[in-house]
Amino acid sequence: MAERSSFVVVANRLPVDEVMVDGERQWRPSPGGLVTALHPVLAQQRGTWIGWAGGDGEAPEPFELEGIKIHPVPLSAEELERYYEGQSNATIWPLYHDAVETPVYKRRWREAYRLVNQRFAQAAADVAEQGATVWVQDYQLQLVPAMLREMRPDLRIGFFLHIPFPPIELFMQMPFRAEILRGLLGADLVGFQQRLAAQNFVRLARHLLGLRYEGQSIQVDGRKVKAGAFPISIDTADMERMAADPAVQARAKQIRAELGDPETVILGVDRLDYTKGIELRLKAFRELLADGKLKVPEAVMVQVATPSRERVEHYQTLRVKVEREVGRINGEFGRVGMPAVHYLHQSYSKQELAALYVAADVMMVTPLRDGMNLVAKEYVACRANGGGALVLSEFAGAATELRQAFLCNPHDPDGVKDALLRAVGAEPAELKRRMRVMQRHLRTHDVAEWARTFLNELGVPDTDATPAPDEG
């Protein structure tokens, strides 16, 4: 049997990308905050990451990459449609985001969700050594903690939800609500982005299952399950380093030149997702152009809308709406060779994103609901020169920490317009002051700190203090 691990991460996606080199399939690490934060503990504890490698059909054999054991889990084409696109992204995703789109409920999706969660749980049970720590990630795998506890009561199990956790009245819509809740309660520690989400969870446990709780601690079958808030963050130092790189600085200048050296570059960077408030942001920009409060070419907008979940109907509808709005704005306010909105439905390297952040005078992050929103934090980390303004929705988890942003209510179009105008017109000294406070916060509250805090609460000692286990 393959060597087992004392630390296991279970997430829907693996932290690797498949690349073809000379016609041969190879794997390279995919850049991401989560894997960066967990790398030290994974490497020191001969850890395993269990996840889906992308694509359908047979999974690749387990392999090792940069000290992490990678354990791929297969998904068939039908499971992809039902578990990933259906139950995860057409039922749970909209429901947990305040039902800003109507959740779709289908029994066959639920069945597939159970089956796939069981497969992930089995994989974790197979690779975890006696008494190991298993950290399960996110809404795609909410049944895994209880399934795993059933198979392996010796394990220490943590769960972290990266997206919001809804209030009781919304959660109660879910047809298999008690099963989901019991799934989560299989963990020893359930982490959320926000304090309010943790409160929703403990109250739900009493409301739905009649469980007793004290503070944030729920009594379940003679065990204690703790709930808590652990706001996730970014690798701040790495982002700052990248933004200071002369190549990134030069690229930022080039981007501004390519945009016609406008006075104001307004930027949006999001997955093309209906929770992100892309349409309302475009509408605010259009109305300000129509009101004559902003003018092209003095002000231009760049909207990066990363392709996402493209086979899910909500996402297809959104794309049509966003692209129609971009066309409308450019039709009304653009000139030959000078669009008002530069719309980019593409993925970029981290360096190119950093250059865009450096180039932007105003960053617009206007989700209707968002667990955290790392883009907002990345923008702040990239503004080492102290300039730049962040317009931030109060409904993003990041708004709890980034209080010096230009906060707005995304449901109020006039409020969004006002925040954007205040950001555009703010004095450089004020912008610097705001940015400095937010940067200081992110330097101490980075993703490594997030992982450390969660794991400490789960009972895992500090990574740095954890000696590498003996060989053999």
Catalytic residues: 162, 370
Contact partner, 138, from ligand ADP, ligand F6P, none, Cβ < 5-8 Å per class: ligand F6P
Residue 446: left if φ>0, alpha if ψ -120 to 50, beta else—which one? beta
- C-alpha torsion sign, points 380, 386, 390, 396: positive
Q: If binding is defined by CB under 6 A, does position 318 make contact with ligand ADP?
A: no
52 vs 341: CA distance, rounded Å: 36
Smallest distance, ligand ADP to C-beta of residue 269, A: 5
Task: Give the three-class secondary structure for 10.
Answer: strand
DSSP 373-398: -HHHHHHHHH-TTS--EEEEETTBGG
Q: How many other β-carbons are positioned within 10 Å of the β-carbon of residue 413? A: 14
What distances in angstroms separate CA 400 from CA 397, 435, 438, one per listed residue?
6, 15, 11
Q: If binding is defined by CB under 6 A, does position 355 make contact with ligand ADP?
A: no
Assess contact for 79 and 43: CB atoms under 8 A: no
Smallest distance, ligand F6P to C-beta of residue 9, A: 13
Two tokens at 169?
Answer: 């009245």
Contact partner, 348, from ligand F6P, ligand ADP, none, Cβ < 5-8 Å per class: ligand ADP
Give the closest residue to 407 by CA, choosing from 394, 426, 420: 394
Q: Site for ligand F6P (CB under 6 A): how many residues?
A: 6
| Neighbouring residues of 316: CB distance < 8 A, sequence distance ≥ 6 | 310
115 vs 119: CA distance, rounded Å: 6
Nearer to ligand F6P, 138 or 270 (CB): 138
Nearer to ligand F6P, 8 or 136 (CB): 136
142 vs 113: CA distance, rounded Å: 9
Smallest distance, ligand ADP to C-beta of residue 386, A: 21
Nearer to ligand F6P, 13 or 69 (CB): 13
Stretch that binds ligand ADP, among 109-117, 177-185, 281-289, 345-353 (CB under 6 A): 345-353
Contact partner, 353, from ligand ADP, ligand F6P, none, Cβ < 5-8 Å per class: ligand ADP
Q: Which residues, numbered 290-329, are part of the site for ligand F6P (CB under 6 A)?
A: 308-309
- The secondary structure of residue 364, as a DSSP letter, is E
Q: If binding is defined by CB under 6 A, does position 17 make contact with ligand ADP?
A: no
Nearer to ligand F6P, 13 or 251 (CB): 13
Angle value at C-alpha 341, between 340 and 345, nearest 5 degrees: 160
Two tokens at 384?
Answer: 């080492």
239 vs 258: CA distance, rounded Å: 24
Smallest distance, ligand F6P to C-beta of residue 222, A: 32
197 vs 192: CA distance, rounded Å: 6
Nearer to ligand ADP, 116 or 232 (CB): 232
Assess contact for 51 and 123: CB atoms under 8 A: no
The full length of the chain comes to: 472
Q: Which residues, numbered 363-382, are part of the site for ligand ADP (CB under 6 A)?
A: 372-375, 378
Q: If binding is defined by CB under 6 A, does position 369 make contact with ligand F6P?
A: no
Give the residue, chosen from 353, 368, 419, 451, that forms a contact with ligand ADP under the rule CB under 6 A: 353
Q: Which residues, numbered 282-311, are part of the site for ligand ADP (CB under 6 A)?
A: 304, 306
Contact partner, 13, from ligand F6P, ligand ADP, none, Cβ < 5-8 Å per class: ligand F6P
Residue 330: left if φ>0, alpha if ψ -120 to 50, beta else—which one? alpha
Smallest distance, ligand F6P to C-beta of residue 18, A: 15
Lookup result for tokens 């999001």: 270
Q: If binding is defined by CB under 6 A, does position 138 make contact with ligand F6P?
A: yes
Smallest distance, ligand ADP to C-beta of residue 279, A: 16
Q: If binding is defined by CB under 6 A, does position 163 make contact with ligand F6P?
A: yes
Contact partner, 378, from ligand ADP, ligand F6P, none, Cβ < 5-8 Å per class: ligand ADP
Nearer to ligand F6P, 13 or 182 (CB): 13
Give the residue, chosen from 71, 156, 162, 182, that forms a contact with ligand F6P under the rule CB under 6 A: 162
Nearer to ligand F6P, 236 or 275 (CB): 275
Angle value at C-alpha 450, between 186 and 142, nearest 5 degrees: 25
Per CB under 6 A, residues contacting ligand ADP are 269, 271, 304, 306, 347-348, 353, 372-375, 378
Per CB under 6 A, residues contacting ligand F6P are 13, 138, 162-163, 308-309
